[in-house]
């Protein structure tokens, strides 16, 4: 048997374990379209977009941004509530929580919100597209692109195989973080007169770090208790949380800690200069 045949047979054996309830759902028939969208996203924001905008004036998209951000507030808030009502507000265990693959009303409702969360990750790619069109290239960091680019395909597999249970914990937390984040973006987009209402900007990164820390702890404990949940997805969620905790920690230090230290250092030097005068 050739290597290609082995790969095909393995892929078929894996897909045979997929959740049949996802058959016919939008984008769920194959991972290739989702993967293609993610790849095209990276190519656009890193190569095509900057070239297209190189000799153009940045677009004025204030009205579009306001509508988009507050629409995402509503969507993120709805997803957070649905994840909570379907499980995390009391029905689910914070220890082992297997996936309910039945066709019960609650299990199907959880499946639908998992799919909605998955689809929201494609919508959120517009964050970066707007940055490109506004020529805000300084905001398109590796962290930003990597974070946005990996989530749609990651959650494709989540919905296809484990739509519910233990793995939705990080989706629940993430939807709340995004609810807060888009409130910030929405208010910031209203203009300078509203800047005083977003004094809590730096705490958003702290909340993101708290999110990844909680997901890490939540994932690790599953290795010490018996649970009917696929260990591969546990490792994937844990890896995701650890990688992003490290990356967001690095961003936090560069954005807030280093400038503060430099300001203090400069203040001391300036003070000495004045005293010497």
Name the residues annotated as catalytic: 147
Give the integer Cα–Cα distance in Å for 192 and 188. 8
User: What is the token pair recorded at 49?
Assistant: 């977009």
| Dihedral of alpha carbons 163, 167, 168, 170, sign | negative
With 0-12 / 13-18 / 19 or more C-beta atoms within 10 angstroms meaning exposed / middle / buried, residue 90 is exposed
Q: Give the CA angle between residues 213, 218, 219 to the nearest 5°.
A: 100
User: Phi and psi at residue 33, in whole multiples of 5°?
Assistant: -65, -45
Give the integer Cα–Cα distance in Å for 195 and 132. 23
Nearest to 69 by CA among 163, 165, 161, 184: 184
């Amino acid at each position: 048997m050739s290597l290609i045949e082995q790969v095909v047979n393995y892929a078929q054996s894996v897909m045979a374990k997929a959740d049949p309830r996802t058959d016919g759902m939008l984008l769920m028939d194959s991972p290739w379209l989702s993967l293609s969208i993610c790849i095209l996203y990276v190519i656009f924001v890193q190569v095509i977009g900057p070239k297209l905008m190189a000799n153009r004036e940045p677009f004025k998209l204030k009205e579009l941004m306001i509508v988009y951000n507050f629409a995402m507030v509503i969507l993120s808030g709805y997803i957070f509530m649905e994840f909570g009502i379907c499980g995390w507000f009391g029905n689910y265990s914070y220890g082992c929580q297997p996936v309910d693959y039945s066709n019960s009303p609650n299990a199907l409702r959880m499946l639908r919100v998992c799919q909605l969360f998955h689809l929201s990750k494609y919508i959120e790619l517009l964050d970066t597209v707007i940055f490109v069109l506004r020529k805000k290239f300084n905001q398109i960091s590796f962290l930003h692109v990597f974070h946005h680019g990996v989530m749609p395909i990651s959650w494709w597999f989540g919905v296809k195989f484990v739509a519910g249970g233990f793995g939705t914990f990080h989706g629940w937390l993430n939807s709340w973080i995004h609810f807060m984040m888009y409130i910030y973006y929405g208010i910031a987009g209203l203009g300078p007169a509203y800047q005083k209402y977003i004094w809590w900007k730096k705490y958003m990164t702290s909340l993101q770090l708290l999110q990844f820390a909680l997901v890490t702890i939540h994932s690790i404990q599953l290795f010490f208790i018996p649970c009917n949940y696929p260990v591969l997805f546990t490792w994937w969620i844990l890896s995701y949380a650890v990688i992003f905790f490290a990356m967001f920690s690095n961003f936090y230090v560069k954005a807030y800690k280093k400038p503060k230290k430099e300001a203090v250092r400069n203040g001391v030097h300036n003070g000495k200069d004045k005293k010497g005068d």
